[in-house]
Amino acid sequence: MTHLWFDNQAEEAAKFYTSIFDGSRIVEIVDFGQTAPDSDVTVKTVTFELAGQRYIALDAGPAFTFNEAVSLYIDCADQAEVDYYWSRLLEGGGEEVQCGWLKDRYGLSWQVVPRRLTELTSDPDPERAQRAMQAMFGMRKIDIAAVEAAADGAA
Per residue in 21-33, pLDDT (tens digit) is 999 999 999 987 7
pLDDT above 90 (res 44): no
- Among residues 63, 152, 91, 89, the alpha carbon closest in space to that of 116 is found at 152
Q: What is the per-residue pLDDT for 32?
A: 77
> Considering just the CA atoms, what is the radius of gyration of the chain in Å?
18
Phi/psi of residue 79, nearest 5 degrees:
-65, -35
Q: What is the per-residue pLDDT for 40?
A: 65
Pairing mode of beta strands 71-76, 95-96:
unpaired
- Among residues 35, 17, 40, the alpha carbon closest in space to that of 27 is found at 17
What average pLDDT does range 57-64 have in this prediction? 90
Q: What is the per-residue pLDDT for 35?
A: 59
Q: List all residues 6 or more positions away from 13 whose beta carbon is below 8 Å from its beta carbon.
A: 4, 6, 46, 57, 106, 108
Percentage of residues of the chain with pLDDT beyond 70: 93
pLDDT digits (tens, 9 = 90+) for 71-129: 999 999 999 999 999 999 999 999 999 999 999 999 999 999 999 999 999 999 999 99
Bridge partners for 28 per DSSP: 47
State the burial class of residue 41 (Cβ atoms within 10 Å of its Cβ: 0-12, 13-18, 19+): middle
Percentage of residues of the chain with pLDDT beyond 90: 86
